[in-house]
């Protein structure tokens, strides 16, 4: 079972629960940008594209808020290299 992807701006975090396990993306607000610092998916639910969904949600949030993105997490940096449509967001 998959829950909806949740953005908790107070905790600077996106999360989703899948089959009783929670995956998360954590970001740090910076001047005119967000720095994606962690993307974590438990091994029990890995390999399903969940990390990519979290990064995409964070990127869309940044775009809609007029913010730039600093990919400080290895996964987010790799995602951005594969998804050039977000090049305009990267600082």
Q: Is residue 74 part of a domain?
A: yes
Question: How would you write the pLDDT of the chain (91 residues) with one tens digit per residue?
Answer: 668 999 999 999 999 999 999 999 999 999 999 999 999 999 999 999 999 999 999 999 999 999 999 999 999 999 999 999 999 999 9
Residue 73 included in any domain: yes
Please give the model's pTM, rounded to 2 decimal places. Answer: 0.95
CATH number at residue 46: 3.40.630.30
Residue 1: inside a domain = no
Q: Which residue segment(s) compose the domain that 58 sits in?
A: 6-89
**Pairing mode of beta strands 33-40, 68-71:** parallel
**Structural domains of the chain, count:** 1
CA distance 41 to 18: 10
Q: What is the pLDDT of residue 24?
A: 98
């Amino acid at each position: 079972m998959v829950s909806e992807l949740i953005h908790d701006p107070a905790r600077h975090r996106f999360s989703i629960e899948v089959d009783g396990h929670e995956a998360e993306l954590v970001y740090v607000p910076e001047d005119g940008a967000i720095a994606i610092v962690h993307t974590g998916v438990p091994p029990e639910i890995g390999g399903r594209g969940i990390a990519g969904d979290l990064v995409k949600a964070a990127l869309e949030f940044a775009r809609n808020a007029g913010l730039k993105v600093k990919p400080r997490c290895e996964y987010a940096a790799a995602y951005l290299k594969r998804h050039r449509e977000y090049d305009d967001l990267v600082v």
